Amino acid sequence: MTVNIFYALSVVAVLSALMVVFTKKPVNSVLFLIVTLFCIAGHYILLNAQFLAAVHVIVYAGAIMVLFLYVIMMLNLTEVLQVNKPDLLRIAAVVSGGILLIVLVGSLKGLDTVASGGVDSTQSGLIERLGYMLYRDYLLPFELSSILFLTAMVGAVMIAKSDEKIIN
Amino acid sequence: MNTLIVLVSLGVIALLSELLNFKKVLFPITCAGLVVATGLSMYDWNSNAYVYNRMLYIDNFAIVMTSLICGLSVLWFCFSKKYLERDTYTTDKFALILFALTGAAVMVSYNNFCMLFLGVEILSLSMYILAGSDKKSLAGNEAALKYFIIGSFATGFLLLGIALIYGVTGTFHLDTMMMYIQAHQTDLPQLFKVGILLILVAMAFKASVVPFHYWAPDVYTGSPTLVTAFMATVVKTVAIVALFRLFVIGFGDAYDVWLTPVIIMSMLTMLVGNLIATYQNQVKRMLAYSSIAHAGYLLIAIVAMNQYSTGAVFYYTMTYSIASLLAFGIVYLLKDNIESVGVEEFNGLSKRSPFLAFGMTVAMLSLAGIPPIAGFFAKYFLFSAALKEEYYALVIVAIIASLIGIYYYFKVIIAIYFKESKEAQVAEVNTTNKALIGLCIILLIGLSVIPEVFLRLRF
Amino acid sequence: MLIILLTVLLLVGSIVVAAGKAGHAKRVALVFASAGLVISLIMLFQFRSGAEAQFVTSIPWVPSLNIHFHLAADGISLLLVLLTTTLTPLIIYSSFNKQIARANVFYSLILFMQMALVGVFTAMDGFLFYVFWELALIPIYFICLLWGGDGRARITFKFFLYTMVGSLFMLAALIILYLHTPNQSFAIDQLYQAHNTLSPTLQHGVFWGLFLAFAVKMPIFPFHTWQPDTYTNAPTQGSMLLSAIMLKMGVYGMIRWLLPTVPFGMDAYAGFAAILAVIGIVYASCIALAQVDFKRLIAYSSLAHVGLMAAGVLSQTEHGVIGAVMQMLSHGIVVFALFFAADVFINRTGSSALNALGGIRTSAPLFATSFLIVILGSIALPLTSGFPGEFLLLSGIFQFNIILAVFAGLTVILGAVYMLRAYQKACLGERRVGAGEFRDITGVEKTVFVIVAVCILALGIFPKPILDLAGPSVRRLLEISSQ
Amino acid sequence: MRYLISLIPVLPLAGFLILAFVGKRLNKVSAGVIACGTVFSAFILSLIVFMNANGNPTFENGMTITLFDWISVGSFRATFSFLIDPLSLVFLLVITGVGFLIHLYSVGYMKEDEGYNRYFSYLNLFIFFMTLLVLGNNFLLMFVGWEGVGFCSYLLIGFWFKNSAYNDAAVKAFVMNRIGDLGFLLGIILIFITFGSIEYASVFAQAGQMQPGGFVIIAITLLLFLGAIGKSAQIPLYTWLPDAMAGPTPVSALIHAATMVTAGIYMIARTNILYTMAPLTLQIIAGIGIATALLGATIGLVQNDIKKVLAYSTVSQLGLMFLALGVGAYNAAVFHVVTHAFFKALLFLGAGSVIHALHGEQDIRRMGGLRKLMPVTWLAFLIASIAISGIPPFAGFFSKDEILMHVYASNPMLWVLAVLCSVLTAFYVFRLFFLTFSGEYRGDPATIGHLHKTPMSMSGPLIVLAVLSAVGGLIGIPELFSGGNLLGQFLSPVFGQSALHLHLPALSHEVEYVLIGISVVVALLAVLFAMYLYAYRKEVSVTESSALRPVHNFVYHKYYVDELYQTLITKPLQWLGDKTYRILELKVVDGVVEWIGRFVVMCGKSLRLIQNGESGIYLLAMVVAIIVLIVTANF
Amino acid sequence: MDNLAQTMQGIPLEYYLWLSVILFSIGVMGVLLRRNIIIVFMCIELMLNSVNLLLAAFGAYRDDTNGQVFVFFVMAVSAAEVAVGLAILVMIYRNTKSVDIDELSKLKW
């Protein structure tokens, strides 16, 4: 059962990921990306990381993708049609993407060293453990990510603001 | 570790100063704060401690590097005071630089990939923004965009590498990883090797190592001169140190995997950087290629990885940064124009402003590695580190590259002293800047008199 | 202690002159340079004959790498210091007739260069040697760049880069030696022991690294192509510094830093290097035959002479090395005077092209006579300074390889051909129509020429003190190398 | 005594220094007095030394006076020391004696010249170096004098420096000498390497113990002989000597006839023991000597310049001396040096008077009939001509005879050639004599009216030399004529060691008489033939006869040797220099350097094109790099 | 709760690895292929997400929470990046009225 779900989610994820790359309109890309993201969320659930799945959906689908859509709408990019790169480059892009895939897959051996932990103690995805870890072991990164956001916020405001209206 | 707090607080203070209206005193506060941060970081000397749940490892090397970047930032701020206070967003720029420094401080003392990742991102985000901080400039826009796209692309690879390594070792801590490597020295899984290489790639990107350097010339050229200066000095230093740290306290024993690629990258970087620079007529772009080349030299220290290496990296980054800062500073003083500063701007500088001319000469000589300027000692330490480990081919390539390097550094010197200037106007320099340039010159010459002090720092 | 005093004095002089007014610069510079001469003369009198280095000053500089600020002088060093301190005041004095733009910088650079040269000749620490070596390059580069002739930027840059090629490889070679010393030290005695643990292959590498640096500096064929252009193009004082003193850095370097350090390297390649040097002699002499510009002629003759010195040093014989020392002094004086003569030509006629001269003897007998003495020194007529050196050099090379000596000996013939022909073209024959009267030398020029002529003859007739001074040191170096 | 000996070279040096430094302020009289006085004093000193030396055993073995150490390195030691022994004394007397006479002669000859003081300073310097050459007690000091006289010769040949041809001749002389000097120098080095010393005493002592004919000794002697070839104008380095006639005539007399050019003979005589040990070298010397003698004599037959004839005569006579050396007759060679100095100097001085009188005319075709106008010169010239022709009892007869004897003893074929040479000599000298003095004047009548008078200072030396030429042979009258051969006995200590090894075959008196008879008769015949041909000629055509024209031309142009050297050596050298510079230096050696530079810049230029500004390309390149990295690391 | 147990029995870890790598490669391909800056951004997001998935899978199969915690930070970073990136995009659009990545290739050589 779950295996089938896995396959289904994977197929959809890959297909819609491809559509992200290949659709002409940016809006469609965004929508396909959202589909992919949902599929990934599904995988998280399969992996017993429900909290992660929830956060994932909220952050990505709820925030990031909305941001994308917002920008597209704001700049009125819906009508912008795809301008293709030169054919040679496009072929090169696809080929190198493919080769990268092959190379990575081919070289990703040695998974046997990954210990398959006890099947019973599947507690890793629980909120309790997550929270405990995040606020104790990962306190510093956690705080630092606030700096990160502060940076992004200050920066985004500074850059995206239109200067014309501001006269000191 | 207290340094981090100080830096963050300074950033926040900078943001608050806009609201609370003490923008005027922000500059002294920042400088003072940075000095305090330097002092605080020195306070932990010889502690060699893991802090914050082994997120950071404060060894002496981390401490001196933290102090170095704080010190460099003070110099940078002094050079940039006018630039920062010139138009709007003064406080934002202060804050961004200070946050970037926070990221930098993390990157030089991380013990956990999480910290590396966050540090890189904080630093990079600030830089993306600062690169485009001159919003009207198309070059600036392009620089910001290129930097951003290529940077986040590299981040993807960094993450993939981290993930793969995590998959094999089950940890993000470097020290644990080291134990893992020691235990599996002979049979490292391929997954792990690929992970190391991908992280190497991502860090090489940050340090603008060939063949992942493409962004650097364009971004350096497009960004405002002083932002470029910051990138070429603090950011470059931090990237190299982060890479160095990765191999010193993390993957050192897995040298089978990374040694050959790093050697080849080092050679390529030195050669390509210097070669392309010979043909540049824009000073900023030339310095960009020069900074690429210097990354190549620094990789030699990683390759050699012996008792000389840490000292060599520290001394090299210090002298390189001071010289670069001086060069960029003079370029800025001469012509505050981000689009292009041709070498011909320096024509006849020796007559227009002997002081600037002398400063630029010292900077160029230092970058070219000509005694008795400190840059030479830096190169010397690197070469001796590599020769100690018998990397003769590497040293020969480095020598050839240095010779090529002399070619373009001297192009500037020749312009300064030999070419006639079209405009006869005297280049005015105010006292503060004079003092600053003087300080840099003294540092560059002084450091060569007392390299002992720095070698004594046992890391 | 005296050496330190000397270097500090010159450094201070350099700063004082730079900071002072341009108008006073030459006098102040002359005072400092003369003071340097006095100090070195005191050194000469205090010197106790023997092989060991004296006037030792050794201050730890980078103790953790065993780098010392170690200055000392044995016989060879002392002689070269004397050469430097004698010629520099002369060089400064020789410019007294000239109006030099930005004179304070000019003389400051000369003094700085002198300081560096003294350092090169007295450094007893490999690293320090290298630093001084490079330090000497910078002022001369700027002297040539700022006060040179047309196309100087390109030419001086070529010179600089070429020299750097050599010196960077020398740096690498020195580091390799350093890493193989018993105590990881740059002290010269330690470096002399490095070969014990150095593999033959590595010794070959070190040999070429060091040789390249010295070969470029001297220069030895085929690393010489920077030289004629630079000599021709540099301001006269620059050419003097380059050829009279700086060139000796290469020969000196070979004697002190190449000969005793890598015995295997010497065994394997000294012959080959000597062949290069000898090829250079014949090659440069042939080219000198075809030169029409006097400065360029000096350049090529200098190339030939220095080839002989190099071959002598590479012969690793007592005669060869002492001959090289002797010849360094002689060549220093002679080539200085030759350039000064070229300067006289240029002052009078605006060019140093031989075809534009002729018949100078008629109106300037004093100059012609002095010039002839200088030329005799150059072609090593007995009883002039060139002869003892040349004889010993040939003897040394002969002991090393007879065929090489025969070819090296061609310099005796060819040197006479091109030098006398130059003399003939410049001074003899009829004065060229429309060339105007050639004023005889007076004042400064006369003084300089008299001093030079006296030196040339004195060294030729009484070379013994010099040979005695250099002898023990040379023997010691050869002993070390033959261990 | 020691001081006196040291003074011999010092006096001319002092003269030189005085003339060089204060020459400008001195008038011609005082300059002449200083110059002649110093040389005369030196001559007197030499005489005093000679008086003391005769029969004094310390002198016979050589007496050394050390002044100071010159060059000493390790075991190598070259001192400034003088050696007085019979050989050096003989030469010293000739040099200072003839030198003084020529100085005296010059006072008159150079009177009108503006470079009068300069001339005498050079001449004094020459005497200094010449005495140094013969006095030195080691090879290096001899070399000092050797090069020094060469240099003075350079100065004096080019004395009239405004004339380019003269300067060319001067340079040619110096350079050709230098070629020989290189051999000499290398020889000295080889001597040092072989014997560990360069002092005569020590070298000769060791050489006497050596195996004759060894490779090293042959090499040494050949190298030294190369020096002699250059200095003494032997084949193939003789061409400078005729050109050297560009100098003032007294200079030709002193340097290029009497003294300097015989330095080569001195050197070989001095090192006779070395040569004795190298029979092969001796044979080579004999061969070159006779070849040069014939060559010089034949060229001398057809030259028309009075000084050129004498110059080739000198070449020829020097060849004869080398022939003597080559057959081991060192004694005879030295003897001939002495007599040759007398009569050749006389010939030159006589020629000088003629030239002086005729306002610089040197072509004998435009002379003639001067006997009445210049009787003293005529007589002197006649005596000298007889002497050089080897007609008894004049000086040349005895010395030449001694040589011929030894040559015959060694190889009769050589003797035939030598006699042929002496016949030729007699012929060309008398051709010269008759064309100059007999018949009628053929030159510009204007000149003959204003003939320069020969002053006393010029005729005096002529007379003295004429006397010497006439009776000079008495110092070496051979046993045959119941003479004691004074010179031979005097010199015997010097050649004693060689004599032990050489074993010269002795000729019976009958054979000697026959040989002398033959040589004297053929010489007389030659004189008569010359008289018949030239004595009463009114016109002298350029060519002798049509049948002989090509041969004549060939000989007249000195066998085209100068041209040959020009094409084979000088031109190619010039060409080589030019091409080396233009092609090898500029295009190849420097070209490579420049090319490397350009290559680097080109690399920079093309490499930067990768950086084409498009992010897409950058990213693609990065991905490719990553792929390559992973692939190479894993597979 | 049994999801995981079942998954781990049925689906080898390799599958997740492959899936992540496929998504990552598609992301890379997209970045290389498209000229529209927004889509390039999205492709980068795709790359990051694929890594997230990999991290989560490793964490789960190792029964280690670290992996998931790391995913949170990656999310944070990608959110910040998107913010900055889009800000840059807006700025550029304002200046050039274009979102074509290749329009901006003035800085070169």
What confidence tens digit (pLDDT) does each residue in C86-108 have?
Answer: 999 999 998 888 888 888 889 99
CA-CA distance, B303 to B62, in Å (whole number)?
Answer: 19
For residue B54, give how far its alpha carbon lies from the nearest alpha carbon of chain A (Å): 8
pLDDT at D540: 58
The mean pLDDT of C404-429, rounded to a whole number, is 89
Between chain A and chain E, how many beta carbons pairs sit less than 8 Å apart? 258
Nearest to B215 among D608, D610, D618 (CB): D618
- Residue C56 carries which side chain, given as an amino acid letter? V
Q: Which residues of C touch D582 (CB under 8 A)?
A: 290
Q: Is residue D581 less than 8 Å (CB to CB) from chain C?
A: yes
3-class SS of residue D76: strand
pLDDT at B459: 57
Q: Is residue D630 less than 8 Å (CB to CB) from chain B?
A: yes
DSSP state of D114: T
For residue D576, give how far its alpha carbon lies from the nearest alpha carbon of chain E (Å): 47
Q: Which residues of B touch D600 (CB under 8 A)?
A: 275, 278, 404, 407
pLDDT at A167: 46
Q: Is residue A35 less than 8 Å (CB to CB) from chain E?
A: no
- Residue D486 carries which side chain, given as an amino acid letter? L
CA-CA distance, C112 to C118, in Å (whole number)?
Answer: 10
Q: Is it the case that residue D59 has pLDDT exceeding 50? A: yes
Q: Is it the case that residue C140 has pLDDT exceeding 60? A: yes
Q: Is residue A62 less than 8 Å (CB to CB) from chain E?
A: no
State pLDDT tens for residues D167-218.
888 888 898 899 899 999 999 999 998 888 888 888 888 888 888 888 888 9
Mean pLDDT of chain D: 85
pLDDT at A36: 92
Query: Exposed, middle or buried by CB within 10 Å (0-12, 13-18, 19+), for A112?
Result: exposed
Closest chain A residue to E73, measured at CA = A145
Could you write out the DSSP letters of every residue in B38-54?
Answer: HHHHHHTTT--EEETTT
State pLDDT tens for residues B275-322.
999 888 888 889 999 999 999 999 998 898 887 788 888 999 999 999
Mean pLDDT of chain C: 89
State pLDDT tens for residues C179-218.
888 888 888 888 888 888 888 888 899 999 999 999 999 8
pLDDT at D256: 84
Please state at what angle helix B236-245 crosses helix B90-107, rounded to 10 degrees: 20
DSSP state of B256: H
Bridge pairing between strands C67-73 and D63-73: unpaired
Asked if omega into B372 is within 30° of 0 (cis), the reply is yes
Q: What is the pTM of this model?
A: 0.89
- Per the CB < 8 A criterion, the answer to whether B280 and B286 are in contact is yes
CA-CA distance, B124 to C357, in Å (whole number)?
Answer: 70
Chain A positions with Cβ closer than 8 Å to D: 85, 89, 92-93, 96-97, 99-100, 103-104, 106-107
Q: Is it the case that residue A80 has pLDDT exceeding 50? A: yes
Contact assignment for E102 to D620 by CB distance below 8 Å: no
Q: Which residues of D touch A97 (CB under 8 A)?
A: 623
Query: Exposed, middle or buried by CB within 10 Å (0-12, 13-18, 19+), for C18?
Result: middle
DSSP state of D587: I
The mean pLDDT of C306-334, rounded to a whole number, is 92
b/e per residue D57-84 (b: at least 16 CB within 10 A): eebbebbbbeeebbbebeebbbbbbbbb
- Per the CB < 8 A criterion, the answer to whether D246 and D305 are in contact is no
Contact assignment for D627 to A103 by CB distance below 8 Å: yes
Q: Which residues pair with D82 in a beta bridge?
A: D65, D136
CA atoms within 13 A on the CB side of C121: 30
Q: Which of A18-32, B72-86, B325-339, B349-363 has the lowest mean pLDDT?
A: B325-339
Nearest to B455 among C65, C131, C169 (CB): C65
Contact assignment for B272 to D607 by CB distance below 8 Å: yes
User: Which tokens belong to D339?
Assistant: 């007599």
State pLDDT tens for residues C436-482.
677 888 888 889 999 999 999 999 999 988 888 888 899 988 888 87
With residue D315 as reference, give the H or E element that holds it: helix D306-326
Interface test with C, best of D71, D118, D151, D177 (most C CBs within 10 A): D71
CA-CA distance, C177 to B388, in Å (whole number)?
Answer: 10
Q: Which residues pair with C353 in a beta bridge?
A: C293
Residue scoring higher pLDDT (D118 or A76): D118
Q: Is it the case that residue C132 has pLDDT exceeding 80? A: yes
The mean pLDDT of E75-101, rounded to a whole number, is 88
Is chain B adjacent to chain A, meaning 3+ CB pairs within 8 angstroms? Answer: yes
Contact assignment for D630 to A99 by CB distance below 8 Å: no
Contact assignment for B166 to E58 by CB distance below 8 Å: yes
Q: Where are the alpha helices (DSSP H) in D539-589?
A: 549-556, 561-565, 571-579
With residue D428 as reference, give the H or E element that holds it: helix D412-437
CA-CA distance, E48 to D167, in Å (whole number)?
Answer: 91
Interface test with A, best of B10, B126, B142, B165 (most A CBs within 10 A): B126
Q: CB under 8 Å to B457, separation ≥6 — which residues?
A: B60, B64, B311, B314
CA-CA distance, B13 to B32, in Å (whole number)?
Answer: 13
User: Which tokens belong to C224?
Assistant: 């010489």
State pLDDT tens for residues A141-159.
999 999 999 999 999 988 8
The mean pLDDT of A112-120, rounded to a whole number, is 51
Residue E13: pLDDT band (50, 70, 90) is confident
Residue scoring higher pLDDT (D505 or B219): B219
Q: Which residues pair with C19 in a beta bridge?
A: none
Q: Which residues of E touch A122 (CB under 8 A)?
A: 1, 4-5, 60, 63
Percent of chain B with pLDDT over 90: 38
Residue A168: pLDDT band (50, 70, 90) is very low
CA-CA distance, D310 to D300, in Å (whole number)?
Answer: 7
Q: What is the largest CA-CA distance in chain E?
A: 59
Contact assignment for A99 to D627 by CB distance below 8 Å: yes
For residue E3, give how far its alpha carbon lies from the nearest alpha carbon of chain B (Å): 21
Nearest to D73 among C289, C290, C322 (CB): C322
Residue scoring higher pLDDT (D159 or D448): D159
User: Which tokens belong to D200?
Assistant: 């005569």
Q: Is it the case that residue D480 has pLDDT exceeding 70? A: no
Query: Exposed, middle or buried by CB within 10 Å (0-12, 13-18, 19+), for D449?
Result: exposed
Residue E3: pLDDT band (50, 70, 90) is low
Interface test with D, best of B152, B160, B276 (most D CBs within 10 A): B276
- Per the CB < 8 A criterion, the answer to whether D529 and D428 are in contact is no
Neighbours of D635 (CB within 10 A): 9
Closest chain A residue to E23, measured at CA = A14
State pLDDT tens for residues D147-162.
999 999 998 888 888 8
With residue E56 as reference, give the H or E element that holds it: helix E37-62
R_g over Cα of chain E? 18
Percent of chain B with pLDDT over 70: 97
Neighbours of B20 (CB within 10 A): 9
Contact assignment for D607 to B215 by CB distance below 8 Å: no
Interface test with B, best of E33, E51, E90 (most B CBs within 10 A): E51
For residue C194, give how far its alpha carbon lies from the nearest alpha carbon of chain D (Å): 28
pLDDT at B319: 92
Residue C62: pLDDT band (50, 70, 90) is confident
3-class SS of residue E48: helix
Q: Which residues pair with D81 in a beta bridge?
A: D66
3-class SS of residue C58: strand
pLDDT at A119: 43
User: Which tokens belong to C363?
Assistant: 């109106």
Q: Which residues of E touch B172 (CB under 8 A)?
A: 66, 70
Contact assignment for C319 to D71 by CB distance below 8 Å: no
Could you write out the DSSP letters of every residue in B197-226?
Answer: HHHHHHHHHHTT-TTS-THHHHHHHHS-HH
3-class SS of residue D614: coil
Residue scoring higher pLDDT (E92 or D542): E92
The mean pLDDT of B430-442, rounded to a whole number, is 89
Q: Which residues of A touch B128 (CB under 8 A)?
A: 155
Nearest to B226 by CA among B93, B66, B36, B356: B93
Q: Which residues of B touch A166 (CB under 8 A)?
A: 88
- Per the CB < 8 A criterion, the answer to whether B395 and C172 are in contact is yes
CA-angle at D588, arms to D583 and D594, nearest 5°: 120
Is chain C adjacent to chain E, meaning 3+ CB pairs within 8 angstroms? Answer: no
CA-CA distance, B267 to B274, in Å (whole number)?
Answer: 11
DSSP state of B232: I
Q: Is residue B222 less than 8 Å (CB to CB) from chain E?
A: yes
CA-CA distance, B163 to E74, in Å (whole number)?
Answer: 11
Chain C positions with Cβ closer than 8 Å to B: 60-65, 127, 130-131, 134-135, 137-138, 142, 145-146, 152-153, 157, 160-161, 164-165, 168-169, 171-172, 175-176, 178-179, 205
Mean pLDDT of chain E: 85
